[in-house]
Amino acid sequence: DVKVTQSSRYLVKRTGEKVFLECVQDMDHENMFWYRQDPGLGLRLIYFSYDVKMKEKGDIPEGYSVSREKKERFSLILESASTNQTSMYLCASTSQEYTTDTQYFGPGTRLTVL
């Protein structure tokens, strides 16, 4: 079974702090994604990566950056957290670029910025 893990289930940070969210997958997937999920809105893509050291902006990249130094690990970075970044963050992976394969999700990190 594919396993996608995220470093924290719940996180509370202060405005202006730098925040790191880690995601690890164990199935040698090429593609990895970071989404945020807010009530009443669909999942919104922040960034994705189709290979090590490669990254592409999604629909809402502002205020975020990412890092993919190893194939299995994709990190989301909030350079200076703000209250409007309070959200559920979901990481996902899939096997190939340009594929209709299903995305496998991690359990999510609920981030609260005070």
Partner 1 sequence: GQNIDQPTEMTATEGAIVQINCTYQTSGFNGLFWYQQHAGEAPTFLSYNVLDGLEEKGRFSSFLSRSKGYSYLLLKELQMKDSASYLCALMDSNYQLIWGAGTKLIIKP
Give contact residues for partner 1 (rule: CB under 8 A): 4, 40-45, 90, 97-100, 102-108
Q: CB 105 → partner 1: shortest distance, Å?
A: 4
CB atoms within 10 A of CB 110: 15
Q: CB 42 → partner 1: shortest distance, Å?
A: 3
CB atoms within 10 A of CB 97: 11
For partner 1, the closer of residues 9 and 14 by Cβ is 9
Q: 44 in helix, strand or coil?
A: strand
For partner 1, the closer of residues 69 and 98 by Cβ is 98
For partner 1, the closer of residues 90 and 113 by Cβ is 90
In sequence order, what are the residues at sequence separation of 6 or more whose Cβ sits closer than 8 angstroms to the Cβ of residue 43? 35, 36, 37, 90
Q: CB 73 → partner 1: shortest distance, Å?
A: 18
Name the one residue in this structure whose structure tokens are 């999920």.
37
